[in-house]
Amino acid sequence: MHRTFVTVAAALVAGGAAAQEVVSYPFDGSFDDATFAVESAIVGQGLVIDHVSRVGDMLARTGEDVGSDTTIFAAADVFTFCSAVVSREVMEVDPMNIAHCPYGIFVAERGGAVMVGYRTYPEGPMQAVQAMLDGIAREAVGD
């Protein structure tokens, strides 16, 4: 399965800069099928989805208000959730890892292509979260 890394932001951290990237996988199917697959993969891990952010709807609804007629996504949702086990693991090592919670997986459709992805996390204990997200995303895309 093809995996894409894209630098999306740089954040100043303790006097240095750390880039945050996005990992995405193509989904062979519709946006609705992808959201169902992501939801099923999250719930299948015994996790509870806290919120589904309808980012695509918000962007479409507010484009005119901010002076734009650009369609960014045909559809886009972000599923946010936490894992008691993984969150405890990473926060026992460093309580400031709370800044990364909740975790999110997105589904987006752009240019007729549907993708599932997540943002990367810093080296160290947060790699446990990244591994969990990667497993969920891969399961959702059938990898």
Contacts of 70 (CB under 8 A, 6+ apart): 63
How many structural domains comprise the chain? 1
Residue 14 pLDDT: 39
Residue 125 pLDDT: 95
Q: In terms of residue numbers, what domain contains 63?
A: 4-141
Residue 11 pLDDT: 36
Report the CATH number that the domain containing residue 85 is assigned in CATH.
3.30.310.70
What are the average pLDDT values for consecutive 10-residue runs of the chain, which has 143 residues? 46 45 97 98 97 96 92 97 96 95 97 97 95 98 94
Token digits for 66?
């901010």
Residue 18 pLDDT: 54
Residue 20 pLDDT: 72
Judge contact between 42 and 77, C-beta under 8 A.
no
pTM greater than 0.95: no
Axis-axis angle for helices 31-44, 127-141 (nearest 10): 130
